[in-house]
Amino acid sequence: MSKILVTGGAGFIGSHLCERLLADGHSVICLDNFFSGDRDNVAHLLGKPDFTLVEHDVTDSFHFVVDEIYNLACPASPVFYQSDPVKTTRTSVLGAINALELARETGAKILQASTSEVYGDPAVHPQNEQYWGHVNPIGLRSCYDEGKRCAESLFFDYRRRYGVRIKVVRIFNTYGPRMAVNDGRVISNFVVQALRGEDITIYGNGQQTRSFQYVSDLVEGMVRMMGSGDAFSGPVNLGNPGEFTMLELAEKVLSKTNSHSRLIFKPLPEDDPKMRRPDISLAARRLKWQPQVPLDEGLDAVIAYFREKLA
């Protein structure tokens, strides 16, 4: 049994990760300031003897004796990270430094939850880990994109300078239960709008593409990455290479919810990527990892979750 710290552990992805680590027999400290995380996401874990919830902001230093650290602390949806862009950058950069300092002090292995947004609006398709990206450093999304890029830089500098054992994963669009109703992600937006009978908002012409992975597939990839040998630091893409246009996704959600919502079109947000699809050959080769949950199956679970949530 390992003692594991999960920053951002009350978030959508973090809560599923905490749940998995406990099921694997580990002791888990969940650290969150609840800016975008939710206590309800981990309420069912509070009675477990190996689970500890600590309210704390990662921009302030923290000290625990742990074996492993998963650094997930940062708002990940545009609604949240653009609401206070300075805080977003501070969380990405100072949070990474504080987590890395703890790893340096304790000898813990540390994993950074990076993002496909480091690729920006890509000129290469699909995106592999050797691609350096096409990012606007001064746009509305740059607080998140550049914050995560800086965090990756810090992780590799701490490895080179101090010998910290690091792991970096680049997370592509992920969905599943415990997504926030108002988080602004496309799947939650479409499902909530369809269930409420509201117009479904499509930005641009709807031909931009995304690839969606179910949260359990992502958590499996993260656990495998943490368990891989120290010689492999990444970065490694974790995502589902199945690619869908926004129109295809909207039509699928309408069909599954039996909704009579209309499709309406609005201008594309600034710097919104036109294409997003991971090359996961590195993860398949080094981690023996492939996503298992098809979009149809995952959407059924998300629709059921939001039906209950909205009720």
Catalytic residues: 144
Alpha helices in the chain (DSSP H): 12-23, 78-81, 85-106, 142-162, 186-196, 215-227, 246-257, 281-287, 295-310
User: How far is residue 150 from each of residues 59, 137, 245, 304, measured CA to CA in Å?
Assistant: 15, 11, 30, 38
CA distance 73 to 32: 7
Asked whether the beta carbons of 103 and 69 are under 8 A apart, the reply is yes
Q: State phi, psi for 154 to the nearest 5 degrees.
A: -60, -45
Question: Which residues, including other chains, have CB under 8 Å from residue 19's CB and lie 6 or more apart?
Answer: 45
Cβ(172)–Cβ(276) below 8 Å: yes
Supply the DSSP string of 64-120, one letter for each residue.
---SEEEE--S--SHHHHTTSHHHHHHHHHHHHHHHHHHHHHHT-EEEEEEEGGGGB
